[in-house]
Structure 1
Amino acid sequence: MDINCDLGEGVGNDHLLMPFLSSCNIACGGHAGDEDTMRQTIQLAKQHRTKIGAHPSFPDKENFGRTEMRIPSEQLTSLVLDQIETLDAIAKEEGAVLNHVKPHGALYNMATVDKGVAEAVVKAVLLFDEKIILYAPYGSVMAKLALEQSIRVMFEAFADRNYNDDLTLVSRKLENAVIQNPEEILTRVLLMIKEKKVKSLSGQLSHIQADTLCIHGDNSHAVDIVSYLNQQLPIHHISIAKIGAV
């Protein structure tokens, strides 16, 4: 199983999280990040054998990329591609390669349901490298379009977020959007992996596929959560897919 986290966002806990991650998504200038933070995060990922991904966003540092924006499709493709290429250039200088792309925040959420936004993201991925992996939610418009273009998709599930009945995430504007209890998260993760189900906030069980699990770095309990999952998942015969792991 892959465990990923969004890093290089200025939260300040990247060095504590990285040892427990098998992949990371590095902010590349849209909502957060600059050349220095990208380089530092890449170096940290290499040190811990953690796969590196680009985490492009709407160009909206003021709102941390969490506000929906309406941008013409060609312009959006160019914005996303520029961010991926910026991170890739720094990665090459550091002797690293990009493993995947995962959109951030409002861009990710819109690409999940909005065909126009999803097409712009998928086009950017294809223009960059048709062989790179895209992290996308199971059943999403983005995943469907990517698969139709023969892009390799890893279905992403959110370990520390509550779901609505339609598999969208509960809005961060609501109190119960984020889960912070490691034991509760483990129970949810085991249900996702072993039974391919997720329990929504209403109690409904829905089918889901999880190839990679996301824990949010800005969750105040993020380090405790990833540490606990690393400790507990092997007990349940689930290994964490670090680079070079057998």
Structure 2
Amino acid sequence: MTLINCDIGEQGPLHEGDRKLMEFIHIANLACQGHAGDKDSVEAFRALAAERGVRVAAHLSYPDRENFGRATMRLPDAELLAALEAQLALLPGVTLVKLHGALYNDAWHDAALAELLAGWLRQSGVSGVIAPADAELSFAARKQGITVLREAFVDRRYVYDEPAGRLRLADRTAPDAVIADAGEALAQAENIITHGRVNVSGDPAHPAWKELEADTVCIHSDSPIALELAAGLRAAMDAGARDNTGAGVKDNIRLVRAGVCETVGLPVYGRQDIGVSPGGAMDCFSLRRGNLMLGNAEGSPALEILAAPELEILAAGHFVLTGARHKAVIHRGGNTAAVEHSRVYTAEAGDHLTFSEKSYGLQTYFCFRSRAEGGPGGKAAEAVPYAAVSGWADLQGRIRVVPGPEYKYLENPKLFFENAWRTTYKMDKVGIRLAGEPKLKCGVGNMISGAVADGTVQLTPESPIILLRHRQTTGGYPRIFNVISADIDLLGQYAPNQAIHFVQVTLDEARAFARQKEAALSKLR
């Protein structure tokens, strides 16, 4: 679920507009006296947030009330950190931070500043930060073990900085830098949330799309359309939440013969600090690919099939099978027809779908779109084989990793890449235990439990384990490597007793592979 955040308390504790906005938002970024706000506004809105179930973030800025924090200040490191510490002190116990104005933009592009701030945030007990996905602050925060909520703006225009190869916000002094029409802002929000993209042309009639992924979207409280935009966006989100962004398989199929399967959607991030793992589909790439082929929202519920069931389709529509290659047959009346993997098929109410042997992988995804929701997407009746969209994967089939926090204590890290590892039967949605010789040795002794992530490779006394999306949120074994985000979905298709090989890559390479993967999916939108 994408969260709405809003900058609150910049106009005093009694500002009626801010109070009304609190009815619609998920996160309130409270101004902490740096660019605006004061002790009274912080206390008033923190109390209101508690009453309405809104999470609070500390909104920190350069100490510059005269310019509303929108001018870069060249301060000595100690002076800047002291100013931020004084602001954070107004919100004791708050562990989520968002930067404001010039400091937000400077930490987006200045790696040295980002490293300084991330280190200070960690030392200050901050566990989460709101920042752009490609911000230097996001990269630095993750290195410090801080959760990043990737942010996008729905009421600001974006431009693409070609030399830097990244998005940035249009300069506020530029014409139309701020979106003044609520309908246009809602359309931008829909593209960001549903399609992971934003138009950088400035012309809605002739869009130029760039990738933009977000866990949270921001509305500026001082915008004339803020209240209309927040109400409209929250209503759309709540409607989507009721049907999980699309009916998908819900209420459209019946299990005639049970196998091992369940209805799944996409993982939900941002709750690890309260002990909740992301969960969701084991192979999100296959889930998203199937839904996009049908014209569904990417997170629409699908059936994740481990062992073959028999399905009855209750409503006319279209379906596609992705992920593991199950042999499948559709039964209509007295006729049968083989179902090809990764091809969209028409279904009628009363059709049955049966599955038999599996030739590849572990999890098959049955994605569905009812006729009542409209026809399928642009790939209707057309096959889109995995090979056509898998150019991001390693050509030799290896799983790519980067060093983990305790990597430096490994006595011979090369063994991890040289060993003939196999998956074991000790595997589930939480993780995969590996088997292989010789055993790895790590010089770290007893350690305090630390945060773990999707793909964390922990070295237990028995053998390494790879954590998946239904994992715990902390762990006490050495975290020697981490599977890159692009390859997490590949792990979801490994069966027991299967050979698995690894290769080490750099963080820059990992980010490039993630972008390639998203670009492959964007071809289906």
TM-score (norm 1): 0.88
Mapping of residues 85-124 of structure 1, within 5 Å: 85-88=89-92, 97-124=93-120
Q: Using the TM superposition, give the Cα deviation of residue 198 of structure 1 relative to its aligned residue in structure 2, in angstroms.
A: 1.2
Q: Report the 3-state secondary structure (helix = DSSP H, G, I; strand = E; otherwise coil) of the residue aligned with 1:226.
A: helix
Partner of 2:175: 175
Map of 1:196 onto structure 2: 196
- Is residue 162–residue 201 contact of structure 1 (8 Å, CA) maintained in 2? no
How far did residue 98 of structure 1 move?
1.9
> Which secondary structure does the structure 2 equivalent of 1:168 belong to?
strand
Distance 1:14 1:199 in 2: 29
Residue pair 1:199, 1:206 contacting (<8 A) in 2 also: yes
Q: Determine which of 64, 69, 72 is the counterpart of 2:68.
A: 64
Instruction: Please give the secondary structure, in 1, of the residue aligned with 2:222.
Output: coil
**Does structure 1 retain, via aligned residues, the 8 Å contact 2:95–2:125?**
no
Residue aligned with 1:112, SS: helix
Residue 99 of structure 1 deviates from its aligned partner by 4.6
1:216-227 alignment runs, 5 A limit: 216-227=220-231
CA offset digits 1:201-241 (Å, max 9, x no partner)? 454311111000000001011001001111223334468x9
Deviations 1:136-186 (A, max 9, x none): 101111101111111110000001100011311011112211112222122
Partner of 1:94: none
Distance 2:53 2:150 in 1: 21
Q: Equivalent residue for 2:4? A: 3
- Name the counterpart of 1:19: 23
**Contact 2:197–2:209 at 8 Å: present in 1 too?**
yes
| Gap regions ≥5 residues in structure 1 | 89-96
Whole-Å Cα distance in 2 between the matches of residues 124 and 160 of structure 1?
30
Provide the C-alpha distance between the structure 2 equivalents of 1:16 and 1:224, rounded to a whole number of angstroms.
Answer: 10
Aligned length: 232
Match of 1:33 in 2: 37
Partner of 2:362: none
Is the helix fraction higher in 1 or 2? Answer: 1
| SS of structure 2 residue aligned to 1:206 | strand
Distance (whole Å) between structure 1 residues aligned to residue 187 and residue 39 of structure 2: 38
TM-score, length-scaled by structure 2: 0.42
Q: Which amino acid aligns with 1:194?
A: T
Q: Which amino acid aligns with 2:152?
A: A
Q: Which residue of 2 aligns with 1:137?
A: 132
Kept in 1: contact 2:149–2:215 (CA 8 A): yes
Moved more, 2-11 or 72-81: 72-81
Is the CA contact 1:115–1:142 (under 8 Å) kept in the aligned structure 2? yes
* Cα displacement string for residues 28-73 of structure 1 (whole angstroms, at most 9, x for unaligned residues): 0100111111111111111211000100110100110011111122
Letter in 2 for 1:143: S
- For 1:151, give the aligned amino acid: I
The structure where strand makes up a greater share of residues is 2
Query: 1:218 corresponds to which letter in structure 2?
Result: D
What is the identity, as a one-letter code, of the residue corresponding to 2:140? L
Does the CA contact (< 8 Å) of 2:42 and 2:90 recur in 1? no
- Ranked by relative contact order (alpha carbons within 8 Å, sequence separation 6 or more), the top structure is 1
CA contact (8 A) 1:76 1:121 kept: no
User: Residues 185, 236 of structure 1: CA spacing in aligned structure 2 closer, same or farther, 3 A cutoff?
Assistant: farther
Matched, 1:82 2:86: yes
> Which of 147, 151, 158 is the matching residue for 1:152?
147
One-letter amino acid of the counterpart of residue 113, structure 2: V
Q: Find the aligned partners of 2:133 and 2:20 in 1 and give their Cα distance.
A: 29
In structure 2, what is the Cα distance between the partners aligned to 1:161 and 1:20? Answer: 19
Give me the whole-angstrom Cα distance separating, in 2, the residues matched to 1:201 and 1:167: 12
* Percent identity over paired residues: 34
Deviates more, 1:79-88 or 1:211-220: 79-88
Distance in 2 (CA, whole Å) between partners of 1:144 and 1:66 is 23
The answer (yes or no) to whether the contact 1:181–1:225 under 8 Å persists in 2 is no
Pairing partner for 2:158 from 130, 148, 163 = 163
Helix, strand or coil at the partner of 2:130: strand
Are the counterparts in 1 of residues 119 and 144 from structure 2 also a CA contact under 8 Å? Answer: no
**Aligned partners of 1:158 and 1:184: how far apart in 2?**
12
Distance in 2 separating the partners of 1:181 and 1:233: 19
Secondary structure at 1:64 match in 2: coil
**Aligned with residue 47 of structure 2, among 43, 46, 63:** 43
Alpha-carbon separation, structure 2, partners of 1:182 and 1:236? 19
- 2:219 maps to 215
**CA RMSD between the two structures:** 1.9
- Given that 1:51 and 1:99 are in contact with CA atoms closer than 8 Å, whether structure 2 keeps it comes out as no
